[in-house]
Structure 1
Amino acid sequence: MDLRRITDDFSVSPQIECEDVADIAAAGFRSILCNRPDDEELGQCAYDDVAKAAADAGLAVRSVPIISGRVTPEDAQAFRAALEEMPKPILAYCRSGTRCTMLWSIASFGALDPDQIVSAAADAGYDVSGLVRQLQQKG
């Protein structure tokens, strides 16, 4: 697993497998947030299978599937709600972790300084500077 810490309460990862869930729980996570639609890629672990493994491990789990490159205002709101409602710390996953990081950046915009958002994402290996500039221009 490639767990990347964004904040103390939020980390991201590429696609996880059911057998990863015990290690995720052992790492101290209390929730798993899936941002990947099922069948996006041949052979990916289905959300329902991850959800069952998470429930068996005592973790909260939620799916907010986002089609890559197509984040709607409703998607962003559903992601914000998940961040607010789910027990922390949360591990979010998608194909590479980028989508989750972008969603976190959108959700955090206005609550955190833009430079903090860019820095936290960069420390985890993601470049959201262009996204943050777009958010700033929309004002």
Structure 2
Amino acid sequence: MDLRPLSESHSVAPMLEPADMAILAERGATAIICNRPDAEVPPGHRAADMQAAAEAAGMAFTFNPVAMPGLTVDAIEEQANAIEAASGLTVAYCASGTRSAILWALAMAGRMPTDEIMAALDQAGYPMPGLRTQIETMAQR
């Protein structure tokens, strides 16, 4: 499991396994956000399976699938709401973690300084200098 922290309370990861849910709960995670559409994953890794494993481990689960380039403001708001509702560490995942990192960055627009968001992306291994303009546009909403 490759967790990449973006803040003290939020990490992103490439595809997780159902067995990872108990480990994440032991590490203090309280909420999981799945950003990967079911059409991209094999049976046993679909949202319902991951949700069952997360809930069995005592964590909240949000299914917020995003297929690029289908990113919408609604998806960004759903990500922000899931992060804000969590009582502890949230972990969002997709295929590589990139979609989840983009959603976090846009969800944090206006909540954190853009430079801090960009630095967090860089430190987590998701350098996206081209995202700065979108973050600044979202911050003005």
Scaled by the length of structure 2, the TM-score of the pair is 0.90
2:103 is aligned to: 103
- Sort the Cα spacing of 1:44 and 1:14 in 2 relative to 1 into closer, same or farther, 3 A: farther
Between the two proteins, the alignment pairs up a number of residues equal to 139
2:32 is aligned to: 32
1:119 is aligned to: 119
Letter in 2 for 1:52: A
Residue 10 in structure 1 maps to residue 10 in structure 2: yes
Identical counterparts, % of pairs: 35
Q: Which runs of 5+ in 2 are unaligned?
A: none
Distance 1:134 1:44 in 2: 35
Do the aligned residues in 1 keep the contact of 2:6 with 2:124 (CA within 8 Å)? Answer: yes
Distance 2:72 2:99 in 1: 13
Distance 1:42 1:124 in 2: 27
Do the aligned residues in 2 keep the contact of 1:105 with 1:128 (CA within 8 Å)? Answer: no
Do the aligned residues in 2 keep the contact of 1:15 with 1:44 (CA within 8 Å)? Answer: no
Distance 1:36 1:87 in 2: 23
Letter in 2 for 1:59: M
1:82 is aligned to: 82
Scaled by the length of structure 1, the TM-score of the pair is 0.92
1:61 is aligned to: 61
Q: Secondary structure at the match of 1:30?
A: strand
The alignment's C-alpha RMSD in Å is 1.7
Distance 1:137 1:123 in 2: 23
Q: Which runs of 5+ in 1 are unaligned?
A: none
Distance 1:131 1:13 in 2: 19
- Sort the Cα spacing of 1:18 and 1:41 in 2 relative to 1 into closer, same or farther, 3 A: closer
